[in-house]
Amino acid sequence: MVRIQFADRSEAGRYLATKLARYANRPDVLVLALPRGGVPVAYEVARALHVPLDIFVVRKLGLPGHEEMAMGAIASGGVQVLNPDVVQQFQISTAEIERAAAVEQAELERREALYRGNRPRPAIQGKTVILVDDGLATGASMRAAVTALKRLNPAEIVVAVPAAARSTCEDFEDEVDEVVCAITPEPFFAVGLWYEDFSQTTDEEVRELLEKAALAQRKGEGSA
């Protein structure tokens, strides 16, 4: 039976995990969630695969005066990615970039501290990283995450989502080692249409799920 709609992000994560079974119980595999909505999905994936879970926070660098337009992004691990075409077209100065990056870096660090607590960032170099979100429409956030993650030298990058536009999934095939989109209904319209419950994931939920996953890892139980 073809899946049409998920009850919530947790069910979506359990379903997505069935598409990633080949990565189970591998010491080189790490699941990274894009907060906030990607965390409940990724928690179920990591638990099913018995691999560690962490977050990969990405913040857009908005164009001064037109913040909705991205001139780049920053991400966990001190990574900064710029769109040289936008920077050149709008003649953005180094000082303007630094000001925007400082504001977003502060917010990124606030979120990481809130979500991760005193746990250290995971080692990424040489790992097979499964990047998880709750879905892909345009794929802008995931694309920024992929670009930033490549700077940290993982062995492989897998983009995995429960629901996505088919064309967006295809766009990622040349950018990463594998793309796993559990369902690609057409027409897609928006991620939230494919969930019965698409209520906003809270900061508290993100923190609790990461703590549960970390505790399970310390106990040697995978992410159960």
* Region 1-215: CATH code: 3.40.50.2020
Q: What is the DSSP letter of 26?
A: -
DSSP secondary structure, 136-163, as one string? BSS-HHHHHHHHHHHTT--SEEEEEEEE
Span 29-43, pLDDT tens digits: 999 999 999 999 999
CA dist 101 → 88, 95, 97, 140 (Å): 17, 10, 6, 18
Average pLDDT of span 70-87: 90
The verdict on pTM exceeding 0.85 is: yes
- Per DSSP, 131 falls in state E
Cα separation, 198 vs 194, in Å, equals 9
Percent of the chain with pLDDT over 90: 82
State the chain's maximal CA–CA distance in angstroms: 55
**pLDDT at residue 2, rounded to an integer:** 52
In whole angstroms, give the CA distance from residue 197 to residue 214.
26
What is d(CA 21, CA 11) in angstroms, rounded to the nearest whole number? Answer: 16
Annotated domain spans of the chain: 1-215
Q: Using CA atoms, how far apart are residues 127 and 194, in angstroms rounded to an integer? A: 31
Q: Are 137 and 10 in contact (CB under 8 A)?
A: no
Q: Average pLDDT of the chain?
A: 93
At 134, list the tokens: 């709750």
- Range in 45-49, 145-149, 164-168, 215-219 the model is least confident about: 215-219
